[in-house]
Chain A
Amino acid sequence: MTAWSYYIATLTVYFGVNVLSALSLNLQFGFAGVVNFGYIIFQAVGAYIAAVVVLGPSSGTFQQYVFGARLPFGVALLLATAAGAVLSLLIGLFSLRNIRRDYQAAILLIISLIGTQVVQGYVPLFNGSNGITGVPRPLSALPLNLQQYQWAYAGWVLLAAGIVYAVVTWLSRSAWGRALRATRDQEDAAAAIGLNVTALRLQVFVIGGAVAGLSGGLLVEYIGAWSPDAWGYAETFVIFTALFVGGIGNYRGAVLGVLLVPIIFLEVPRFLPQVGYPGLMDSVEWIAIGAAWMLCLYFRPQGIVPERRNRARRGEAAPHAAPVRERVGAA
């Protein structure tokens, strides 16, 4: 029973973290029209910053890293969020201009590859390929046994994900969110009615980056370790597939997609009898992800969960969501 409990609790933590990732990507794609294939680097920076801030100073022999301030975990999470925001501000400043979307996606992907190489190459930064381990558990002072602690942490992650979900959906329904949708649809027309397209896009990108940093901080404080292998760019594709399945630009759909893809789709094979040589199932899983990706692109580019139409009422400042109805027109 304990093994099951550990497994489900861990899965819940991953679910919460993946929801945060999906929200971040959805924000950046649904509103800024940016396909952030380099997502993982923002999650990684949050994880690394949270890790080195919480650990004591580097001894240099066991593992080398910068900072090492032994700060409390709340501060670590805040710094992780800030790190994600700052990194996305820097990257956004030069990569959010008006270039072909396919080039832009490729650029972001390459940037994350560069990040991996830099971390692996410059060991004093984050201990290179070996990564950082031994990150202490938050709140280890509390009198919880291991199982209770894991469930408590899972609950905490779900709470964080829920809060971010609420904030993000609220922002999307606001005038700001509407301006962004306009920008995405018709950039020139949006500018012609006074919207500062570049600034809006950058804001979205930075908020997405902040959420990404938070997700990294939450994850590293659970796992206790982080290394470049943990953040391969392939993980980003899994989340994107989740978004496709659930519906790009659609937050409820994003949560559904995360449930279906990384959690159910990728975990179910664990319980199937082993076929072929060890490791074959891993390859097959990736093939399945690729196939799901292509199928979604072919059949339902708008995803599974349709968006709601917003109806206007006289006397009210903003339109309200009407009952669910299929969106008309091309996606």
Chain B
Amino acid sequence: MLSTLVSAIGFGVVLASIIAVAAMGFTIQFGLTNVLNLSFGAVMTVAAFSAYLANRHGVGGWFGLAVGGVAGAVFTLLLGRGVFKQYARRGAQLFEMMMVTLGLSLIINYAIQAISHNNIYQFVVLPSSLIQLGSILITRTQLIIVFISVGVLVALQLLLQLTKIGKALRAMAADPDLARACGIRTGQIVVLTWLLSGFLCGLAGVVYIVNAQSVGYTTGQLFLPLVVAAAILGGAGSPIGAFVASLIMGVVTEVVAAFGNASYSTVAGFGILVLVLLSRPGTVRGGQAGHTQLTL
């Protein structure tokens, strides 16, 4: 009983690490732009496939991470400037923007389905040896993934707290009008946000398929609710919050799966997301009170 629990927690930490990379990317993007970007999962899938293709062409092993990250960054920037910004110009508010991301996710996901002939492809990075930590049995790859996610957290925190750019990011996320008035180059910061969050998104996509050892058109989309839940639970814009929330989501999912039904672990994850969305302060809808704005 206890060993099942500990083993589940171990798996939970691995799952959490994967969620965390994506959630940290999502929270940075969401915290600044306020777009509930439901095409985030689709971008993850695109990056994952990029890494897969690179792998097929000889760019092996962990370099796939860089390929995926760059693919994610570039693609997200294209979407951010080429699509989201155009809709914002037409007067789209928070809700319309979410609808736009939904439509986008339909297009991207099914385009991938079409191009990939609806197949699932094997993706094995390294032959993975097993490591035993107490009653936890994980692979070397999975341990590396945990370290990657911690590394991302540390890097993000250093960036946000110590660098000038980081301070500008935080200022803009808190109050974009005030930041603009203080002379912060908001346009550039938004571009940086797309690139940074896109890189993390792509990274997360590759990390996911490294763990799952396969890639298909549904890769990112199935993952998305957990990512969004972790990001919003941890507080929009806070990488540490996203990391901690990811731990919670990952461990809960694996523990429920270990003791119950696989279906129910998904329900647990979804349930947490619903509770989070219900409880997080949102704007008063249609009223005269203050307004959460899109920053694009």
Contact = CB atoms under 8 A, between A and B. Distances in A.
User: Do any CB atoms of chain A lie under 8 A from CB atoms of chain B in the complex?
Assistant: yes
Interface of A: 33, 35, 94-95, 97-107, 110-111, 113-114, 117-118, 120-121, 183-188, 234, 237, 276-277, 279-280, 283-284, 286-287, 289-291, 293-294, 297-298, 301, 330
Contacts of A186: 286
Contacts of B91: 330
A289 to B, nearest CB: 6
A47 to B, nearest CB: 20
Interface stretch (B59-67, B69-77, B184-192, B264-272): B264-272
B98 A106 contact: yes
Interface stretch (B106-114, B129-137, B171-179): B106-114
A120 B274 contact: no
A84 to B, nearest CB: 20
Given A121-B261, A294-B107, A102 B98 contact: yes
B263 interface: yes
Interface in B273-292: 273-274, 277-278, 280, 282-289, 292
Nearest to B261: A121
8 contacts: A100-B285, A102-B36, A105-B98, A118-B267, A121-B267, A283-B113, A283-B118, A298-B86
Contacts of A287: 106-107, 110-111, 114
Nearest to B91: A330
Q: Is the interface of A mostly helix, strand, loop or mixed?
A: helix
Nearest to B93: A101
Nearest to B114: A283
A113 B274 CA distance: 11
Interface residues of B, number: 51
Given A188-B287, A284-B114, A102 B267 contact: no
Given A103-B277, A298-B90, A98 B284 contact: yes
A105 B95 CA distance: 9
Contacts of A184: 286
B103 to A, nearest CB: 4
B264 A110 contact: no
Name, among B99, B114, B288, the residue most crowded by chain A CB atoms within 10 Å (CB to CB): B99
A277 B116 CA distance: 11
Contacts of B107: 287, 290-291, 294
Contacts of A120: 263
B103 A297 contact: yes
A293 B106 contact: yes
Top 10 A-B residue pairs of the complex, sorted by shortest distance between their CB atoms: A121-B263, A290-B106, A100-B282, A293-B103, A290-B107, A283-B114, A187-B286, A101-B95, A102-B98, A286-B110
A98 B228 CA distance: 20
Given A100-B282, A114-B267, A279-B118, A35 B103 contact: no
A169 B273 CA distance: 36
A205 to B, nearest CB: 15
Interface in B211-268: 225, 228, 261-264, 266-267
B94 interface: yes
Nearest to A100: B282
A298 to B, nearest CB: 6
Contacts of B284: 98, 187-188
Name, among B86, B271, B277, B292, the residue most crowded by chain A CB atoms within 10 Å (CB to CB): B277
B287 A293 contact: no
Contact of B270 (A100, A110, A185): A110
Given A118-B267, A188-B286, A297-B92, A106 B36 contact: yes
A183 B280 CA distance: 23
Contacts of B117: 277, 280
Given A120-B263, A301-B96, A99 B278 contact: yes
B236 to A, nearest CB: 11
B36 A103 contact: yes
A183 to B, nearest CB: 8
Contacts of B278: 94-95, 97, 99, 103, 107
B9 interface: no
Given A106-B228, A110-B270, A117 B264 contact: yes
Contacts of A35: 95, 99
A91 B243 CA distance: 30
Contacts of B97: 102
A301 B278 CA distance: 27
B100 interface: yes
B100 A294 contact: yes
Interface string B135-167: 000000000000000000000000000000000
B78 to A, nearest CB: 15
Nearest to A192: B288
B117 to A, nearest CB: 6
A186 to B, nearest CB: 6
B293 to A, nearest CB: 12
Contacts of A117: 263-264, 266-267, 270
A103 B118 CA distance: 31
Given A107-B278, A121-B263, A298-B90, A101 B118 contact: no
A60 to B, nearest CB: 20
B53 interface: no
Given A99-B277, A118-B267, A121-B261, A294 B286 contact: no
Contacts of B283: 100
A101 B114 contact: no
B104 interface: yes
Name, among A99, A103, A289, A294, the residue most crowded by chain B CB atoms within 10 Å (CB to CB): A103
Given A99-B277, A100-B282, A114 B270 contact: yes
A183 B287 CA distance: 10
